[in-house]
Amino acid sequence: MYQLSKTYPEKRAFITGAASGLGRALSLELAQDGWTIGMSDINMEQLAAAASEVQASGGKAMTFHLDVSDKVEYKSVADAFLEQAGGIDLLFNNAGVGDGGAFEEYALENYDWMTGINQLGVVYGCYYFIPTMKKQKSGHILNTASAAAIGCAPTMGAYNMTKAAVVAISETLYGELMSFNIKVSCIQPTYFRTNVIQYARGGALVKKATQMFIDRSGLEAVDVAKEILTRAGKNELYIILPKAAYKMWLMKRLAPVWFRKKVTEQFLEAMKKAMRRVK
pLDDT digits (tens, 9 = 90+) for 11-52: 999 999 999 999 999 999 999 999 999 999 999 999 999 999
**What does the alpha-carbon distance between residue 171 and residue 165 come to, in Å, rounded to a whole number?**
10
Q: Are 18 and 41 in contact (CB under 8 A)?
A: yes
Lowest mean pLDDT, pick from 1-10, 151-160, 262-271: 262-271
Position 128 confidence tier, pLDDT thresholds 50, 70, 90:
very high
The pLDDT of residue 197 is above 60: no
Tell me the domain boundaries of the chain.
Answer: 3-278
Across residues 130-155, what is the average pLDDT? 96
The pLDDT of residue 226 is above 50: yes
Helices (H) and strands (E) in the chain, counts: 12, 7
CATH topology of domain 3-278: Rossmann fold (3.40.50)
**Mean pLDDT across the chain:** 90
- Residues 235-279: tens digit of each pLDDT: 999 999 988 889 999 999 999 999 999 999 888 887 776 666 555
Across residues 206-226, what is the average pLDDT? 69
What are the backbone dihedrals phi and psi of residue 146, each rounded to the nearest 5 degrees, phi first? -175, 155
Winning range, highest mean pLDDT, from 38-52, 149-163, 182-196: 38-52
Report the pLDDT value the prediction gives residue 268, as an integer from 0 to 100.
Answer: 80
Across residues 212-231, what is the average pLDDT? 80
Across residues 99-126, what is the average pLDDT? 95
Report the pLDDT value the prediction gives residue 219, as an integer from 0 to 100.
Answer: 78
**What does the alpha-carbon distance between residue 259 and residue 149 come to, in Å, rounded to a whole number?**
13
For 58-75, letters b (16+ CB in 10 Å) and e give: ebbbbbbebbbbbbebbe
Position 201 confidence tier, pLDDT thresholds 50, 70, 90:
very low
- Look at the alpha carbons of 237, 1, 13, 133 in this order and tell me if their dihedral is positive or negative: negative
- Residues 77-103: tens digit of each pLDDT: 999 999 999 999 999 999 999 888 889
The pLDDT of residue 131 is above 90: yes
Q: Are 171 and 143 in contact (CB under 8 A)?
A: no
Position 206 confidence tier, pLDDT thresholds 50, 70, 90:
low
Global pTM exceeds 0.85: yes
123 or 242: which leads in pLDDT: 123
**What does the alpha-carbon distance between residue 194 and residue 21 come to, in Å, rounded to a whole number?**
5
